[in-house]
Amino acid sequence: MLEVLRVLSTSSESLRHAVVFLFNGAEENVLQASHGFITQHPWASLIRAFINLEAAGVGGKELVFQTGPENPWLVQAYVTAAKHPFASVVGQEVFQSGIIPSDTDFRIFRDFGNIPGIDLAFIENGYIYHTKYDTADRILTDSIQRAGDNILAVLKYLATSDMLATSSEYQHGNMVFFDVLGLFVIAYPSRVGSIINYMVAMAVVLYLGKKFWQPKHNTVNYTKDFLCGLGITLISWFTSLVMVLIIAVFISLIGQSLSWYNHFYVSVYLYGTAAVAKIIFIHTLAKRFYYVNASDQYLGEMFFDISLFVHCGFLVMLTYQGLCSAFISAVWVAFPLLTKFFVHKDFQQHGRVFLVLIQVGKYLKIYKASRDYFSLFLIPKPILVFVNTY
């Protein structure tokens, strides 16, 4: 924040809007400083947008994990201006669901000030957070440089934006947003996302409907095998979950809880291997004792259809609930279905359809994000930038 302040104060470029730099304290004690500012300070009524700087780790990319309320223009500002974007609406919905027992000053400004904002946080190496190892020498300077590049660029964009003065007029609906390999961010209104999701679901319905009603196959046997395969799939998922829970309980009983926390891939091998092994075991039993005479090609195509059906169910359910993260299920359905169409000989005979949907799945680790703050330092201007420091 001090470096951004220095750059802005020495720049020859004039800003259309002023900027407030707010250094908060007393966050661990029910977010008192931010609450005091937004409810009592005379400058609070001038604020039109804010950027909240968080940290639940000491390095890596700073993740945009919250935006809102209803701020398509603010997401577009980040998409346009950020030099090294890293954002995911999945993180926003996970954090705001209350699953993670944590809170940030973002909520105070959003709920008590009704101000749109962006919440960014470092999440890498979160295992040292609030421990004796949480020292300044562990902070990665390249991460600070990266964050500074992004924050300065976005702040300059907002400070020269025409929308900032009347930001309340642009608070209409939520946005689906996610970055692609950190190169750029894809963002579109949630209502557009709902249309896309339902179109994908309809494509699955048409595809499976043709399978069930086409005369060249014995649809009775296929329907029976499909339903049995669906049951086998659900059973394999359930038993995998039970196996993972058994391992977790065992590790806790021997006093090694979270022993894998500072080595994330250990948890992948520990729990992931057990889950995959259980799924393979269940399907192997089904192949040996139920689908004895079925060919591998037939089984492969049938379980492909089952996978589409299950993920399409998740897609419809999440979209109906109004969750922007339903785009993940849409990708899991659209890409396999498109691949199937492109390689199918009937499809090649009757024409081609060109459609590209881009998404990269990520593991999102969001750790406890409450912080300690230092004393208040203010400059009277109406964009608010505030940071959580140790």
Sole residue written with tokens 């562990």: 138
Cα–Cα distance for residue pair 122/155, rounded to 1 Å: 18
154, 373, 385 from 377: Cα distances, Å? 21, 12, 11
Cα–Cα distance for residue pair 275/297, rounded to 1 Å: 25
> Is 123 exposed, middle or buried (CB count within 10 Å of its CB: 0-12, 13-18, 19+)?
buried
Q: H or E element: which one contains 186? A: strand 184-189
Cα–Cα distance for residue pair 33/23, rounded to 1 Å: 9
- 3-class DSSP assignment, residue 176: strand
For 101, other C-beta atoms within 10 Å of its C-beta total 8
Ordered alpha helix ranges (H), 290-370:
296-320, 327-343, 345-350
Catalytic residue among 27, 54, 93, 124: 27
Cα–Cα distance for residue pair 134/122, rounded to 1 Å: 14
For the chain, the first-to-last Cα distance in angstroms comes to 14
Residues facing residue 186 across a β-bridge: 178
> Is 202 exposed, middle or buried (CB count within 10 Å of its CB: 0-12, 13-18, 19+)?
exposed
Catalytic annotation present for 27: yes
Cα–Cα distance for residue pair 257/239, rounded to 1 Å: 22
> Catalytic residue numbers?
27
